[in-house]
Chain A
Amino acid sequence: MTTALLGSRRGMIVAGLIALVGIMLPWFVYPVLAIDIVAYALFAVAFDLLLGFTGLLSFGHAMFWGGAGYVSTILLAKAHAPFPLAVLAAIVYAGILALVVGAIAIRRQGIYFAMITLALAQLQYFFVYQLGDWTGGENGVQVSTRGTLFGIPLDNDKGFYYAVLVVAALGVWFVVRVVRSPFGAVLGAMRENEQRAIALGFRVDRYKLIAFVLSGTLAGLAGVLFAVGNRLSGLDGVDWHTSGKVVVMSILGGIGTIFGPIVGAGVYESLDFFVSKTALGDKTNIVMGTIFALCVLLFRRGIVGELLATRTKRAKP
């Protein structure tokens, strides 16, 4: 289904539409909100690589997102490091963290996997909270300037948005390549029937670990875009509610569809933003929670997934 979508003309149209919305976005919403949406979209796609294509539900992905965000903002604000170095260091941090966490978590499956990733993410949360000298505790880390890249100042929000958009597009393209590679095929086989994949001689633990590291690293990249875009790393970035948020986005859009999580992130962030502006403002979580609960009960395939399903039904009368 997925590969069919990616290769098909319909898939190209969806991709084109998403790209168009991406390019037009800063004209409709504040640039910083646009950065948030794109960063979350990449985060959700990275997450989907794990849940949708490998079948592993991580409930601790905020640790890569928020953790990498902290590394980049601390380097920018406290060490006045050049922008590329700060970003690179943050991504490396996310990658190494994912390697360690992944090595522990893949020892268990399903629910246990989710609970272990959650617990390890909380472990990092406590460290961030306790190391207030570095992380600012409850105040977080503020960055006064984003610095420069190749001599170009990055402090124009609209300009930075387009840089973020390009990076996120590359990230998504990378995930598409991974999913469509022979490696991606093995991941799919493991998701469908792990015993059989083992019987066929694949070392599933190694594949899982690689998928986990890829996903965590990309989530870290997304977190850097988010933190630098907002010029702020806060505790809520490493909190478990953020881990839950990315799960909600992916399910809302449709897991295992690549485009779904992007749509889900866009819908979630804009809903979140507009609901918080209305009279329902203080009930944002109630609204989002209700939508998500209905999604889990009734539309488990998500927005894009449901669209695909109706399409297939019509095609095969």
Chain B
Amino acid sequence: MALGLSVIFGMLRIVNFAHGAMFMLGAFVAYYGAQLVGLPFFPALIVAPVIVGLFGLLIEVVFLRRLYGLDPLYGLLFTFALVLIIEDAMRLAAGALGSPFPTPPLLAGVTNLGFTVFPTYRLFVIGVAIVVCIVVWYVLERTPIGARIRAATEAPVLVRALGIDTQQLISITFAAGVALAALGGVLAAPNQNVEPTMGDKVIINTFAIVVIGGLGSIGGSIVTGFALGLLQTLGAVLFPAFNDTLIFLVMIIVLLVRPSGLFGTPASAK
């Protein structure tokens, strides 16, 4: 989730409020896929991100493209409008109350890790997250297209002068970022109800993670995301009532000590 946002922002300098909505859409696509055509869970992990990614591509090409030359704030505001529209549309289509999403039978139950017993599904999510992180890191750092994306982030004009279509790169990156959010949504679905507002809670946490890790720093947001996930699990045990506030306290401390984020460079803070 944070990964998708970091990729999009790093590349486009556009902060995407609609990321939470895309997260929610991913979960809904998987849900309806299962309800209407009996789409099993594992193919849904692929299908839902692809569908939502295409939807994101459409939005990018039709609307967001018009806003690139402007202050990034307009991109932020436009995606906020999108959230209002998408959330309400889903509320109409699916009702405000959530629908439970069954955990796939293969992953139900618990696994004994020796020192502790852990729900199998959680292990699976952690596993997928690690794989996705490695893949994203590999694509960005070790492949030609990743090199181009990084180059386009740092010096768009120069890259264009070398004959590379940056517009196309931007579209691809945006769609990929959105698809990652949708994947997050599908993965989260069995743990919580599938409901139109499920993206809201996630997006704020994601923002905090990205601020802490340093925007545009992919490694940073991965490490921070995992560390904070761990912290919240601990916090749930130690002081349950204020667990939700923990992440913000961490953010405040990080901002006071290192304003550019743990893994950000001061230059990227501007």
Contact = CB atoms under 8 A, between A and B. Distances in A.
A255 B68 CA distance: 20
A285 B84 contact: yes
Nearest to A247: B77
B15 A111 contact: yes
B251 interface: yes
A108 B82 contact: no
A23 interface: no
Contacts of A286: 84-85, 88-89, 92
A198 to B, nearest CB: 13
Given A112-B215, A122-B248, A247-B77, A293 B82 contact: yes
Contacts of B249: 123
Interface stretch (B118-126, B154-162, B164-172, B205-213): B205-213
Interface of B: 9, 13, 15, 63, 66-67, 70, 72-74, 76-78, 80-85, 87-89, 91-92, 200, 204, 207-208, 210-211, 215, 241-242, 244-245, 248-249, 251-252, 255-256, 259, 269-270
A297 B78 contact: yes
A290 interface: yes
Interface string A104-122: 1001111110111011101
Interface of A: 57, 59, 104, 107-112, 114-116, 118-120, 122-123, 126-127, 130, 240, 244, 247-248, 251, 282-286, 288-290, 292-293, 296-297, 300
A283 B88 contact: yes
Contacts of B91: 282
A119 B204 contact: yes
A115 B6 CA distance: 13
A293 B255 contact: no
A289 B88 contact: yes
B80 to A, nearest CB: 5
Contact of B67 (A240, A251, A296): A296
A116 B210 CA distance: 10
Dominant SS among interface residues on chain A: helix
A292 B88 contact: no
B210 A110 contact: no
Contacts of B269: 108-109, 112
A110 B73 contact: yes
Nearest to B210: A115
B259 A108 contact: yes
Tell me the interface secondary structure of chain B in the complex: helix
B193 to A, nearest CB: 17
B122 to A, nearest CB: 24
Those 4 A-B pairs whose CB atoms lie nearest each other, nearest first: A289-B84, A285-B88, A289-B85, A293-B81
A6 B126 CA distance: 58
A284 B88 contact: yes
Given A115-B210, A119-B211, A119-B251, A244 B80 contact: yes
A282 B13 CA distance: 34
Contacts of A300: 70, 74
A119 B248 contact: yes
11 contacts: A110-B270, A118-B207, A119-B207, A126-B242, A126-B245, A126-B248, A283-B88, A289-B85, A290-B81, A293-B63, A293-B85
B41 to A, nearest CB: 31
B208 A297 contact: no
Contacts of B74: 296, 300
Given A282-B91, A300-B74, 15 more contacts: A59-B76, A104-B255, A107-B255, A107-B259, A108-B255, A119-B204, A119-B207, A130-B242, A247-B77, A285-B84, A286-B88, A288-B84, A289-B88, A296-B74, A297-B78
A57 B84 contact: no
A284 B76 CA distance: 21
